[in-house]
Structure 1
Amino acid sequence: MTKTFFTYRDHIYVALLLLVLMSFMVSYALNSISTVLLGVFFFIDRAKNIRAKLRVFKESRIVVFYVLFFISQCIGLIYTENIAYGIQKASLFLPLIFLPAVLLSERLNLKYFGYALEILKYWTAIVFLYLLITHLYVDERPLSNFVNHTVNARLGISQFYLVYLILVPVLYCFFQIEKSHRVIVNGFFLVLFIFFIVLMANRFSFIMLIGVLLLKGKNIMSSMSSTMWKWSFLPLFVSLAILLVVYSPGLRKKVDVFVKTTDFDIETVITKNKVTYTKNTFEHRFLINYLSLSIIKDNLLFGVGTGDYQDMLEKSYDEIHFKSGMGLKLNNHNQYLTEFLKTGILGGLCFIYLLFLLAREASLSNKYFVYFVGFFIVGSLLESYLSRQHGIVVFSFFLPLFLKFEMEIKKTTSTV
């Protein structure tokens, strides 16, 4: 029995990784259980292997700073008043203690992981098509309402988290096309996933998509022998993305609101949001950042506490009568400011340095990691990613997993 387990240990590990990825958008409970199983799996190994993996804990500054970042959340509990909310938020960060350590120390079999990504490609397409068909023909709702009704309400997940999952098969399809492997099939799935991303009607997701198309399209062009294909492939996909945006009512509506109603004078923005419920989310972020910086300035050293940062923010909404902020109880929509607001210099600088350590490992030759870490770093300026479980999974699972994937590719290439 033990011999059989160790024979198939690589298979089991990849199966657990796939379970985390597949459960990401369909089940909170299963996703949580699968991450815990990874922690348990780490210790089901031979003693010498466990000792070798534990050395990674000490030697990897990335692992160390993930743990220190969690500790900063706990320190913020010491002086918080809303202790119940603080414990709730700090407990979200628990995966930071073990997930990055497990993912960066376990051996990742590239062959089996490739099979897992192929399965994930079909799984993501099937689930999204099922949701889309149900939305249009069972619920009989318009396409423009897909995000609010099906993604946000039914799945209970914000679209900017979901885009990270869709990005995995997008990059996988590009990788397969670069290798000239089943180009037509992978091209079809690539177009399908691009449509799904645009359907999320998220402006940053569209910018992210254009970035992927430009970078990956350049790689494919350079690998093609035909001059005609070289100069037609990239414009084809960029044109497709623009076309989808033009016919994406949700995203088009947001762009129209931004162009027609945006002001950059803070007093004007405060006045507008005092008298009515505005729909300009850019102005909302602008105003929230302004209020957050005012609170941080007065509490720079320690912050206001892990449990009090949202209360303080909502109090500032009340003071200026920010109607949308009060009604929707909006969070910071900026992860950097969130950390400085919660725990001051300790948590803020720890978060920034951890992202620096991750970014330092990225390279434009990466198949996946450079895109995930780059978009997370930029996206954290626009969203409070770590306010929900899905964001914690992106941060503590997606980033270390694909960093390990790139490390294994580099190791394999250097030994050839």
Structure 2
Amino acid sequence: MLLRSRLVLLYALFFLTQLVGLVYTENLQAGTRKTMVLLPFLVLPAIIVGEAKNVFVTKLYSALKFAVPLVFVVMALLYFISKDFHGLGSFVQLWFVNRLGISQFYLVFLLLLPIFFCAKDIENKNALLNTILVSSSSFFILLMNNFTGLLFLVVALALFLRNLFRNASKGYFLVIMPTVIVILLMVVLANPTIEKKFDPLITTSMEINEIKVKNKYGYTRNTFEHRLYIHYLAISDFKNNFPIGVGTGDTQEYLNQLYRKNNFLVGIKRELNAHSQYLQEYLKTGLLGFLSLSLLFFYMLKHCQSRNSIFFFYILFFAVACAMESYLNRYHGVIICSGIIPLLMIYGANKEIK
């Protein structure tokens, strides 16, 4: 079964492209470290697919639905009684980002899970439980200073309410929908910084020359503009690393050189990565890395779409987010992609994964 599983083979192919990039990388130590971060791609999907009928896999799925909100609620209570308490608006930054080193970009995808689980389990008609799970997950996403997370939350809630309207009884619908809406409105009204999440829509310039000038003579704070400028610099230099990239371990040094050449002050100071997993893979191993990652996401989406699985949208969110963030540079993103997503594909499938 494992040898016939296209999913497992595509994960393995993506991992093997990292080894190809090690052959011609100059910084072998950095390349080896980056490759080891992706080692779960070779192991976790094979274990999950191979044990798809194991009761443990089903229990693991069920645990995720409840464990994610529970962990955040417990952490919030501990934060509330701790000496670090500086308002709920600082909770995620102080206790997850600063203490645990987990970026908000990864936390968003964990908190979206219960919303998708509840959208799929609406037919169970457990109104109170689903209300608590959806509301708590939405509450913590709204606390984050993350515009991308806010956009994904809006779409996820729309999908949840769509399923609610289609599948739930009238009484169930009238109980859960007003409750969720009221709770979210209370969070929005109680959070004085909510408007800051919409700053990227107002302050971001799409003119590359303007972004270039601003970042050449000052330390700017618009991270969306930083991403646009990094992508522009790397794409403009494609001819110098086509078609095999610069090597698995040399991507950061290559980007640092581009920053120095263009006097990108924030990039020089913070040594920013590519902020796009697709671009990151192209820089590592050229077309091979870019195509192997794209093919993996394409297969996942096609698989879920063919089975009308709501997790299609979760995977789509992750694939889209990878265009603006290098999610697989850290273990947190690797575990989501190689551990959680295969679980969702198995749970949402009516047929065996091929």
TM-score over 0.5 for the alignment?
yes
Summarize the Cα distance change of 1:190–1:230 in structure 2 as closer, same or farther, 3 Å threshold.
Answer: closer
1:226-241 to structure 2, matched below 5 A, reads 226=170, 237=180, 241=184
Q: Secondary structure at the match of 1:62?
A: helix
User: C-alpha distance in 2, partners of 1:253/1:301?
Assistant: 41
Equivalence for 1:171: 116
User: 1:382 is matched with which residue: 306, 320, 324?
Assistant: 324
1:42-57 to structure 2, matched below 5 A, reads 56-57=1-2
Q: Secondary structure at the match of 2:249?
A: coil
> Any conservation in 2 of the 1:170–1:193 contact (CA below 8 Å)?
yes
User: C-alpha distance in 2, partners of 1:356/1:125?
Assistant: 30
> Any conservation in 2 of the 1:73–1:343 contact (CA below 8 Å)?
yes
Equivalence for 2:216: 274
Q: Secondary structure at the match of 2:2?
A: helix
Name the TM-score, length of structure 2 as normaliser.
0.89
Q: Secondary structure at the match of 1:362?
A: helix
How far did 1:179 drift?
Answer: 1.8
> Any conservation in 2 of the 1:72–1:343 contact (CA below 8 Å)?
yes
How far did 1:347 drift?
Answer: 0.8
Summarize the Cα distance change of 1:250–1:348 in structure 2 as closer, same or farther, 3 Å threshold.
Answer: farther
User: C-alpha distance in 1, partners of 2:283/2:185?
Assistant: 38
Amino acid at match of 2:100: L
> Any conservation in 1 of the 2:227–2:275 contact (CA below 8 Å)?
yes
User: C-alpha distance in 2, partners of 1:251/1:305?
Assistant: 42
Amino acid at match of 2:347: F
1:62-81 to structure 2, matched below 5 A, reads 62-81=7-26
Equivalence for 1:329: 271
User: C-alpha distance in 2, partners of 1:177/1:65?
Assistant: 32
User: C-alpha distance in 2, partners of 1:254/1:206?
Assistant: 8
1:13-24 to structure 2, matched below 5 A, reads none
The answer to whether 1:353 aligns with 2:298 is no
How far did 1:353 drift?
Answer: 1.0
1:194-213 to structure 2, matched below 5 A, reads 194-213=138-157
Summarize the Cα distance change of 1:98–1:321 in structure 2 as closer, same or farther, 3 Å threshold.
Answer: same
> Any conservation in 1 of the 2:108–2:141 contact (CA below 8 Å)?
yes
> Any conservation in 2 of the 1:362–1:370 contact (CA below 8 Å)?
yes
User: C-alpha distance in 1, partners of 2:229/2:77?
Assistant: 38
Summarize the Cα distance change of 1:349–1:121 in structure 2 as closer, same or farther, 3 Å threshold.
Answer: closer
CA deviation string 1:204-255 (max 9, x = no partner): 21211111111121111112343x8758965764675466456545553242
The answer to whether 1:132 aligns with 2:47 is no
* Percent pairwise identity: 36
Tell which structure's C-alpha radius of gyration is larger: 1
Per mean C-alpha deviation after superposition, the further-off stretch among 353-362 and 237-246 is 237-246
How far did 1:297 drift?
Answer: 3.3
Equivalence for 1:148: 93
The answer to whether 1:252 aligns with 2:195 is yes
Q: Secondary structure at the match of 1:170?
A: helix
User: C-alpha distance in 2, partners of 1:243/1:287?
Assistant: 37
User: C-alpha distance in 1, partners of 2:71/2:162?
Assistant: 30
User: C-alpha distance in 2, partners of 1:57/1:365?
Assistant: 21
Q: Secondary structure at the match of 1:318?
A: helix
Give the gaps of 5 or more residues in structure 1. Answer: 1-55, 412-416
How far did 1:151 drift?
Answer: 1.4
Equivalence for 1:45: none
Number of aligned residue pairs: give it. 351
User: C-alpha distance in 1, partners of 2:182/2:115?
Assistant: 17
> Any conservation in 2 of the 1:221–1:229 contact (CA below 8 Å)?
no
Amino acid at match of 1:142: G
Give the gaps of 5 or more residues in structure 2. Answer: none
User: C-alpha distance in 1, partners of 2:209/2:58?
Assistant: 53
Amino acid at match of 1:255: F
User: C-alpha distance in 2, partners of 1:250/1:296?
Assistant: 40
Amino acid at match of 1:268: E
How far did 1:172 drift?
Answer: 2.7
Summarize the Cα distance change of 1:322–1:145 in structure 2 as closer, same or farther, 3 Å threshold.
Answer: farther
The answer to whether 1:106 aligns with 2:106 is no
User: C-alpha distance in 1, partners of 2:183/2:128?
Assistant: 16
> Any conservation in 1 of the 2:48–2:57 contact (CA below 8 Å)?
no
> Any conservation in 2 of the 1:310–1:331 contact (CA below 8 Å)?
yes
Q: Secondary structure at the match of 1:361?
A: helix
Amino acid at match of 2:167: S
User: C-alpha distance in 2, partners of 1:328/1:135?
Assistant: 29
User: C-alpha distance in 1, partners of 2:242/2:324?
Assistant: 21
Q: Secondary structure at the match of 2:138?
A: helix
Q: Secondary structure at the match of 2:91?
A: helix
Per mean C-alpha deviation after superposition, the further-off stretch among 112-121 and 81-90 is 112-121
> Any conservation in 2 of the 1:289–1:332 contact (CA below 8 Å)?
yes
CA deviation string 1:286-333 (max 9, x = no partner): 111111212333212100111111111121112222222122221111
Name the TM-score, length of structure 1 as normaliser.
0.77
User: C-alpha distance in 1, partners of 2:105/2:178?
Assistant: 26
Bigger RCO (CA 8 Å, 6+ sep): 2
User: C-alpha distance in 1, partners of 2:215/2:169?
Assistant: 56
1:151-162 to structure 2, matched below 5 A, reads 151-162=96-107
Per mean C-alpha deviation after superposition, the further-off stretch among 358-367 and 88-97 is 358-367
Per mean C-alpha deviation after superposition, the further-off stretch among 157-166 and 363-372 is 363-372
Equivalence for 2:339: 397
